[in-house]
Amino acid sequence: MANSVNIELTVALSAERGVIRQFARRKLALFGLFLVVFTVFSAVFAPYLTGFDPNDQMFDGLTLHGAPMPPGGQFMLGTDLLGRDLLTRILYGARTSLIIGVAANGLALLIGTIVGVTAGYFRGWVGSMLMRLTDLMMAFPALLLAICLAAIFQPSLWIVALVIAIVYWVQTARVLYAETASLAEREFIAAERTLGAGHMRILLKHILPHLMPTIIVWGTLGISTTVLLEATLSFLGVGVQPPTPSWGNIIFENQTYFQAAPWLVFFPGLAILTLALAFNLVGDALREILDPTQRGRD
Amino acid sequence: MKNFFATTAIALCFALPAGAEDYQPDPNAKSGGNIVVTYKDDVATLDPAIGYDWQNWSMIKSLFDGLMDYDPGTTDLRPGLAESYTISDDGMVFTFEMRNGVQFHNGREMTAEDVVYSFNRVTNPTTQSPGAGFFWSIKGYDAMASGEADALEGVTVEGPSTVRIELSRPDATFLHVMALNFASVVPREAVEASGDDFGKNPVGTGAFSLAEWTIGQRLVFAKNETYWRNGIPYLDQITFEVGQEPIVALLRLQNGEVDVPGDGIPPAKFQEVMGDPAQAGRVVEGGQLHTGYITLNTQMPPFDNADVRRAVNMAINKDRIIQIINGRAIAATQPLPPTMPGYTEGYEGYAFDPEAAKAMLAKAGFAEGFETELYVMNTDPNPRIAQAIQQDLAGIGITAGIKSLAQASVIAAGGEADQAPMIWSGGMAWIADFPDAANFYGPILGCSGAIQGGWNWSWYCNEALDEKSASADAIVDPARAGERLEMWSEIYMTIMEDAPWVPVFNEQRYTMKSPRMGGKDALYVDPVSIPVNYDYVFVTD
Amino acid sequence: MIGYFLRRLVQSLLILLGVSIITFVLLYWLPADPVRQIAGRSATAQTVENIRQQLGLDQPLWVQYWRYLTGLVQGDLGRSYLQKTEVSTLIASRLPASLLLMAGAIFAELLLGLSMGIVAALRRSTTMDQSLMIVSFIGVSAPQFVVGLLLLYVFAVQLGWFPIGGYGTFSHLVLPSITLGILGSGWYSRMMRSSMIEVLRQDYVRTARAKGLTRLRVIFRHALPNAILPIIAMIGIDIGIFMGGIVVVESVFGWPGIGQLAWQAIQRVDIPIIMGVTLVSAIAIVIGNLLADLISLMVDPRIRTEL
């Protein structure tokens, strides 16, 4: 008895270590992971990484005519239109943007996957209803909802995360619906059914792995999209209010100045880009490793 | 009856020669040419009874005329469609002699009946005019507003070209009201033919007529060849292009495609333009009848305490705020802007003194400061200004959370007595409808505005001041004009003592024009015909 | 087939009804009074009341909605509160421009996105693949306002190849289409790549290669048609994505579309216009999805649509 348990445990552990080892062999994936960790680190430890306060409008942060300072000197990435240090604001902004890019985006991805896969697999009446629901959500005037919420409730990061998740899941749902519908028609699925396999087993073992590439694409590109969407919503009054920084709202409030002060758009944009790319590198590697058809090809 | 009026109407008789002779025409002006003006927002309507936007205001002035007008580039009244007028001794009856030979754009000659029709139309509730309220002093207005009457009792015709207007009480601002767009003369048949679409098919007596309107793209004004003022307009045609982002409009100006960017120089390009002598030379700077202010809600504690309000006044660093907007304004000390008659010269207001402010707060019982909210409109540069204000307040211990919302939401919050403790007025700040001290009082500082949905966001209601303002406006004798302005000055000084507002700055206007535009600078920063007085500008090529 | 189509039609009408109710209610709850916007800042309380009665805005919510709905089924979208012009006139004068821009954007994004995606899939794991991945992510992360101004500045102002914004000819359409399309091209390229990779791994592809078919033939006859399925589903989503970008792009390029109309209407709380534009875009989205579904059916007949 003890022996068989030991053997199972050893097998399980070595499979685990196999994944980690395979991951460690992919340099790009490690790099991506490092970037993600670094972003989280900056968000959490921002106060210790920089000597400035993100909301401190400093006298020497502006020229005499009121123009922002370019990168260099004590302001490594320059200052913004109120004389605040840009690097500090980007570091503190990581907090908001991580919550949006990871939590809101992740939630939207989850809802979209559940709805799309269910509709595509079961089809019929259920599928039809779910797809019409996505049509409705697509046509839904989200901007109006945002304005209403902004005036009624205290503006809060969680409200904007919720609004984004509500509005954003539809795209993933539609694409996964199309792919699932196509997959579900394949002969091997029918074969599995006749063999008596349950729905959950088929979904998890046969369908979901084929959907992983799409889910990863959507999840990673979605980070950029949702972060920028947060900026639009906060412009309407939902979400973080000034002076709290987020990468999206730094870009948004300074985009007309990009000719005079390009650093104000470039650096936060670079931050968004980097985070999305980093998740993409990690995701791609994980997908390759976990793909049953690829196992053993390393 | 007629004799009776003739004998009493002696005292004040204004018979001036026809308008064009009063104003000296520019010797350099040449006729001809087209110009291109750009705007970001679409033009909503050109119906003078309805148009109340920043861009259609001057466009309507070029398509229509009223009984009174202003000397171009100034705030001095002059006769318009009315050749001359007389005022009765008690100031209650105005008799206007209309000009002869004035044609509408559809060819018909204007008569006194048209004036009566126009006034009845604008005060009729079915027209939904935002300017109906300006005609409050005309006898019979209340009946019109409540729908009981369909004609103003006080406006009558006394001959083919004489209009008699009787007021229900003396009103010193009446002649200014006669110069407002809302008092423009419109032809009945054109209005009835177009119905609700008159705003897209305007017909008036103005210097230009509407030649083309492609919705969402452009409007074209063509010179009115039969305009009753000789010699103007100079331009043959004006093309208004709408939907143009201000930055792109400026790029096109620099490229020679645009003559005047109607929305002005965008803040993002200001330094670049002013830093280049060639371009800076074509920028005209002028004052506006504008004040930007913070309203403090006197109904919401702790702003019901006057000491707290005065402390806030002393906490704001106006120079720093002006620096943030690239120096495009001058610091304000009082509600009225400096170019407004009635402005109190030499009044210093509350100097920037955070220490004194903290002391005053402590005296009021708030040594630890307090928390509050500052509402602001979300378009640049207002959130930035709000953040600067927020930092200044933090400097004396007040923690103000910012609520940056759409304009309509801020206006709605201000109209409730218990929602917005502080509002930065930027983007919604008061610009005078007409150049008179009274215009800065009523809706924004008077008791009539301190109602649900009103614009008196500080909910300041001083009955004594209301009475004083009414008696000041009852002084119609021009010989006593100085006395009237004195009273208004006192009213605003009392307001500053009570400090329901923090006046922050008076924005300067900067109009940039292309090299080929000619005409006196004042025309490009016309205080009444905002932004440009189209009737009098010309091109030099 | 006809049955399917009819069913979809009925469902679409229900969706439009739902959208109209939701929008109407949201607008009613909006803490901004449209009457105050019309009446302006100098209006007396009497004037405000008059206008409210004139427009029927003193009636309860359901009465107002019922009046709107009855007008709607007769084709009357009402009149703008602030312009007094008929909403249908306003929308009709601007819709063609927006549709043209969307068509141009779809063309641009498919051209850029699909080609990048196919190349990346074929050159998988090479430097080319990595670079294209970075380019795609830049496309998605770059704010459209900045992209638009940048393109305008470089290609129109400096180089003079295109007009500085405006509307009317083909050369006016190029830059705004590219701006609007760059965002989408990032998505299409990643999806196309991932889809192609999946398909290229399939047995039937290897069989085709083993049979001696050239690479190109394999790609175009076997791989692409299958890889394209999720792309078609995405085109249906495009219209929704565009709704957001269109306001910015139209404003930067001075393009006379409905984006500008909608944005101004929202700021001024011009309810009839907001309702009209929302309904028109809802119709566009519903039609777009329907077309995408029908095309999917034609491309992959194995997909049995819902019974």
For residue B404, the SS3 value is strand
Closest-CA distance, B63 to chain A, in angstroms, reads 34
d(CA A131, CA A137): 10
pLDDT grade, residue C307 (50/70/90)?
very low
pLDDT score of A198: 78
d(CA A6, CA A79): 60
The partner residue sitting opposite C85, judged by closest CB among B126, B145, B197, is B197
Give tens-digit pLDDT for C96-114: 999 999 999 999 999 999 9
Q: Tell me which of B233 and A15 has the higher pLDDT.
A: B233
The partner residue sitting opposite A65, judged by closest CB among B271, B390, B405, is B271
Residue with tokens 């009855």: C70
Q: Which residues of A touch C233 (CB under 8 A)?
A: 174-175, 177-179
For residue B329, the SS3 value is strand
pLDDT grade, residue A195 (50/70/90)?
confident
Q: Percent of chain A beyond pLDDT 90? A: 26
Nearest CA in chain B to A261: B268
Closest-CA distance, C154 to chain B, in angstroms, reads 12
Whether B217 sits inside 8 A of C256 (CB atoms) is yes
The partner residue sitting opposite B409, judged by closest CB among A62, A237, A242, is A237
Q: Check CB contact of B157 with chain A, cutoff 8 Å.
A: no
Rounded to a whole number of angstroms, the distance between the first and last alpha carbons of chain A is 34
The partner residue sitting opposite A237, judged by closest CB among B381, B384, B405, is B405
Q: Which residues of B touch C164 (CB under 8 A)?
A: 248, 251-252, 255, 257
Mean pLDDT across chain C, nearest whole number?
87
Give tens-digit pLDDT for C3-14: 888 888 898 899
Lowest mean pLDDT among B472-486, C219-233, C256-270: C219-233
Residues 28-57 of B with CB under 8 A from C: 40-42, 44-45, 47, 50, 52
Answer whether C190's CB lies under 8 Å from C136's CB. yes
pLDDT score of B1: 38
For residue B74, the SS3 value is coil
Answer whether B143's CB lies under 8 Å from B149's CB. yes
For residues A122-139, average pLDDT: 87
Nearest CA in chain C to A123: C306
Rounded to a whole number of angstroms, the distance between the first and last alpha carbons of chain B is 58
Give tens-digit pLDDT for A249-267: 899 888 889 888 999 999 9
Rounded to a whole number of angstroms, the distance between the first and last alpha carbons of chain C is 10
Spell out the residues 6+ positions from residue B528 whose beta carbon is closer than 8 angstroms to its own: B70, B75, B179, B434, B435
DSSP class of residue B18 equals P
In total, the C-beta contacts within 8 angstroms joining chain A to chain C are: 157
d(CA B176, CA B187): 22
Lowest mean pLDDT among A22-26, B485-489, C151-155: A22-26
DSSP class of residue B255 equals T
Beta strands B370-377 and B422-424: pairing type? parallel
pLDDT score of C94: 94
pLDDT score of B212: 96
pLDDT score of A250: 92
Nearest CA in chain A to C263: A143
Whether C304 sits inside 8 A of A125 (CB atoms) is no
Interface confidence, given as ipTM, is 0.89
d(CA B236, CA B429): 35
pLDDT score of C111: 94
Dihedrals phi, psi of B293, to nearest 5 degrees = -145, 160
Q: Nearest-CA neighbor of C83 among A140, B51, B513?
A: B51
Cis ω on the peptide bond leading into residue C31 (within 30° of 0)? no
- Checking if the pLDDT of C149 tops 80, the result is yes
Lowest mean pLDDT among A9-13, B64-68, B223-227, C222-226: A9-13
- Checking if the pLDDT of A193 tops 80, the result is no
d(CA B474, CA B172): 6
pLDDT grade, residue A3 (50/70/90)?
low
pLDDT score of B293: 96
Residue B519's alpha-carbon distances to B52, B235, B236, in angstroms, are 26, 12, 15
- Checking if the pLDDT of A6 tops 70, the result is no
Q: Check CB contact of C39 with chain B, cutoff 8 Å.
A: yes
pLDDT score of B7: 36
Q: Nearest-CA neighbor of A33 among A274, A215, A291, A289?
A: A274
Q: Check CB contact of A257 with chain B, cutoff 8 Å.
A: yes
Answer whether C176's CB lies under 8 Å from C104's CB. yes
Give tens-digit pLDDT for A52-70: 888 989 888 888 888 899 9
For residues C141-157, average pLDDT: 92
The partner residue sitting opposite A136, judged by closest CB among C19, C230, C296, is C19
Give tens-digit pLDDT for C28-64: 988 888 998 898 888 888 889 999 999 999 999 999 9
d(CA C187, CA A224): 11
The partner residue sitting opposite A81, judged by closest CB among B378, B384, B404, is B384
d(CA B262, CA B264): 5
pLDDT grade, residue C301 (50/70/90)?
low
Please say whether the dihedral angle defined by the alpha carbons of residues C261, B288, B414 and B378, taken in this order, is positive or negative: positive
pLDDT score of A269: 93
pLDDT score of A17: 64
Q: What is the pLDDT along chain B (541 residues), one digit of tens a residue?
A: 343 333 333 333 343 333 334 567 778 888 889 999 999 999 999 999 999 988 899 999 999 999 999 999 888 999 999 999 999 988 899 999 999 999 999 999 999 999 999 999 999 999 999 999 999 999 999 999 998 999 999 999 998 899 999 999 999 999 999 999 999 999 999 999 999 999 999 999 999 999 999 998 999 999 999 999 988 899 999 999 999 999 999 999 999 999 999 999 998 899 999 999 999 999 999 988 999 999 999 999 999 999 999 999 999 999 999 999 999 999 999 999 998 999 999 999 999 999 999 999 999 999 999 999 999 998 889 999 999 999 999 999 999 999 998 888 899 999 999 999 999 999 898 889 999 999 999 999 999 999 888 899 999 999 999 999 999 999 888 889 899 999 999 999 999 999 999 999 999 999 999 999 988 899 999 988 888 999 999 998 8
Whether B387 sits inside 8 A of A62 (CB atoms) is no
Closest-CA distance, C135 to chain B, in angstroms, reads 27
pLDDT score of A194: 75
pLDDT grade, residue C306 (50/70/90)?
very low
H or E element, residue A234:
helix A208-235
Residues 183-242 of C with CB under 8 A from B: none
pLDDT score of B102: 94
